[in-house]
Amino acid sequence: MAGDRRNRRLAALGIVAALMFTGIGVRVWFLQVVDASTLRKRVEFSARRTVTLLPRRGRIFDIKGRVMADNSRILVVTLDRSIVPPDCSPDAPKSRERRYTRFWNLLSGPLNTPPDDLEARFCSNKYVPQEPVPLKTSVTEEEALYLLERREQYPGIDVVETWKRQYPFAPLASHVLGYMGSIPADNPNTKKVNETKVYTEKGYLLSERVGVAGVEKTYEDVLRGSPGKRVYEVDANGRVLRIVEEVPPTNGQDVQLSVDLAIQQFAEQALETELRYRRSVNAVQSAAELKQFGRKKYPATAGSVVVQNYQTGAIVAMASYPTFDNRWLDGSVPAGKFQQLFPANIPPDQAALTNRAIQGGYNVGSSFKAFTAYAALQAGLLPGGANFKWQDNGTYKIIACQRDRSRELRQKCVFRNAWNAALGRPTSYGLIGVTEALTVSSDTFFYQIGDEFLELTGGQPIFQNELRQFGFGQRTGIDLPYERSGILPDRQVMAELRKKKVINPDETFTSGQSILLAVGQGVLAVSPMQLVNAYAVFANGGSRLQPSVLNAIYAPGTPDSATPGYADMLQAELVLARVPKVVQTLDMRPELRDPIIEGLSNVVRRVSFNGHASTAGRVFTRFPLDRVPLAGKTGTAQGAGNRSENDSSVFVAFSKDPKIPYVIGAYLERSGYGAVAAAPVVKCMFYAVSGLYPRLDPVRQADPLDLAAVVPAPPKTLPNANCLDNYTTIVTASDRG
C-alpha cells in the first residue's frame, strides 16, 4: 500500500513537472519566434542612449565684413536624469523636504547657485527627458575641473562644451540684429500657432535658444544649421561602454547684412544727440497755450532714422531710440536686473525694445503731401496738371458746407493754414500750383484735393487706391519681424476700426477725414520705413522696391580676417546673393513726376514764392547742394491735444545724384517742427553717406557689459555735431512744414 501511494505521488509530480517544462518551452518559443522583434527593440533601447549634437550657429556680418554676431565656446554643467529621478509633481513637498535635498545642497556651493534654483531647473519641462539637464551655463575652467575631479561625490554630473552667442559691436544695430531667447511657450489665449510644436517638429530641443527678434529671428532657419547625434552603448547602470554611431552636426550658414556699421553708428549718434538737444528747447507755444499750461519744453523722448539705397531697396542704417544692448538678453541676467532695465509698465515712447522704424504708426504731417500731389495729378483732379493754380487765402471751407450752410452748426467747416503770429491770422500764400504748394507747404492747397477726392468721386476710394501704390496701409515686406502695416483710412477701414473699438462708434470717413489724410493727419498711421520706401519711388523713377537688410548668405565657416573684428569675405563661399525685388511699378511720366521733384528740390533751397520761404531752406544753407543735390519734404505731425510741445518732427530727402543713391528719413517724436528737429539729422546723414563729414567715429568693438548699469544702453553723442547746425532764435511758420 505504501509503495502504491509513493508511486501515485511520483506520477503526480511527474505530471506537474511535465506541464511546467511544457509551459516554459512554449514561453521560450514565443519569445524567440513570435515576440523576438519586440524584445530585440526593448533590449536595444535600454542599451543605447542618443545625445543630440547641436550645430555652431552661423555668424552675421555687416556690409564691410565686421562680425556683428559671433559664437564663443562655453562650458555647461549637466546632470544625468537617471541618477536623480525627479520628484517634480505640483503636489510634491517643497525642496527642503524632498529626498534629494542633500544632493542639491551639495551642488549649490560649487555652482554658486541656490539649491531651489537648481531643483527648479532640473524639474523644468523645457528639457527633453532623455537628455542630461543643463544645470548651469558658462562655468569657468576651474569650476568644471573641480566637479570632474570629484565624480564620486557628484554622480551623474558632467561638463560639456557648447556655444554662446556674442555681439562684438553691441549695442550698435541691436534692433536690426535682434537677440536670442528660449523657445516661446504656448499661450492658448493669445497665440494662433503652437510655437513650441513648430520648433520641436523641426528637431529643436526645448532647451535650445532661438532667434526671437531682428535678423536672428528672420533668418533662424539659415543661421541654426542641422543638429547631429551621438549614440552611446550603456550598461544596466547607465555607464557608457562605447560610441555606437556619430553623425556630426552641420553648422549654420553665415549671413551678411547690407547695414554699414559706420553709418549705423553715425545715425544712432545723430538721432540721440538731436533728441537730447531738443529736450532743452522751449516749445513754440501760442499765447493761449502759455497762459493755460505755462512754458513747456519738448519731451523729445523717441525717434528713428532710416537710410535706404533707392536703387536696390537695401537698408544701410536703421536707428531707433531709445535703444538697448542686446547682450542684456542672453538669458544670464537675473530677473530683478532685467525688470530694472526693461520695466513692463512704461509709456510706449520709453519702450527700448520697440523698433520704431518698422513698428511705429504715426501721422507724418506735410511729408505726406508729395503723395497727395501725385494722386491728384494722376487722377486728373487738377485741371492743367502742373499749370494748375490755386488761390491760397489762408483758409478753406469744405464743399459740403458750401452746399449746405446749416452744416456749419454741426461740424467743422473751415480749415486753415499755420497761424502767422506777426499778422494775427492764418498764413496766405497767394496764387500757387503744385510745385509752389510743396515748397512752402500750403495746407489749404491740399485740403482742397482731399475734399474733392471724396466729393467729386462719389465717395469711391480713388484717393486711397493711388496712395496704396506707394505701399501705405500695408507692410513693406522688410526681412525683420513684427513690422506693422499701418492704417490708410477709407470707409471700409473706418468700419473695421469701429468694430475693434479703436475709434468712436459714430466716426466715419467724412470730408474732414479726407482733408486730414491729404496732409498726413487724422486716422492715418505710417511707419518711418514705409515713408522712406515710398519716397524711394520718386527717387528711382517709379519702382516700389521691397526693402531688405540682407546682402548675401555664405556657406558655414567664413574665416576671420587679419584685422580684428572682421571676417575675410574674399574667402567666403557665396550661397545666395540678394536680388532687388520690385513690388510695383508706378506711372512716373514727366508731367506727373517733374512738378513734384521740382517742389521737393525747392524745399531745401533758399527760395521763396509770393514772399514766403521754402520750409527747409535755412537748414540747408551751408550744405553743398551743388555737390549733393537733394530733394526733400518737411512734416510736422500734431500730437495730443494739438499742444505745441507734442508736435512731432518729420523730414525725408533723397539724393538726385545716382552715384549717391540714398533716401533718408528721420522721425523725432514730440520734438517740434519738421525743419528744426528732423531735417538737421537728415542733413547730417547726407554728409556721412556722401563722404563729406570730416571723420566718422571709428567703429570699436564693445566694452564689457556694465552689470551695474541702470539703463538699457549707454548714451551716444556725435563727436562733431556741427552738421546739426541747430537754430532756435527765429522760428517762423515756414519752419513748420
DSSP character string of 641-696:
GG-GGG-EEEEEEEES-TTS-EEEEEEETT---IIIIIHHHHHHHHHHHTT-SS-P
The C-alpha cell 511520483 sits at 10
Beta strands in 282-362 (DSSP E): 303-309, 315-321
Locate the domains of the chain by residue range.
50-256, 261-546+581-735
The pTM score is 0.88
Cell for 337?
Answer: 536686473
Q: Tally the C-alpha atoms within 13 A of residue 277's C-alpha that lie toward its C-beta.
A: 23
Among 298, 321, 341, which residue's Cα sits nearest to residue 731?
Answer: 298
Q: Which CATH superfamily is domain 50-256 in?
A: Penicillin-binding protein 2a (Domain 2) (3.90.1310.10)
Determine the CATH number of domain 261-546+581-735.
3.40.710.10
Beta strands in 310-365 (DSSP E): 315-321
Q: What is the mean pLDDT of the chain?
A: 88
Beta strands in 586-677 (DSSP E): 608-609, 612-613, 630-637, 648-655, 662-668
pLDDT at 188: 62
Residue 717 makes CB contacts below 8 A (sequence gap 6+) with 269, 272, 273, 276
pLDDT at 435: 98
Three-state DSSP class for residue 362:
strand
pLDDT at 115: 82
Which residues does the chain have with pLDDT short of 70? Answer: 1-47, 82-100, 125-131, 186-193, 236-240, 409, 726-736
pLDDT at 728: 47
Q: How far apart are CA 557 and CA 59, in angstroms?
A: 8
pLDDT in tens, 97-150: 455 677 788 888 888 888 888 887 787 766 666 667 888 888 888 888 888 778
Order of strands across the sheet with 662-668?
Answer: 315-321, 303-309, 662-668, 648-655, 630-637
Among 305, 238, 249, 242, which residue's Cα sits nearest to residue 527?
Answer: 305
Cell for 551?
Answer: 546682402
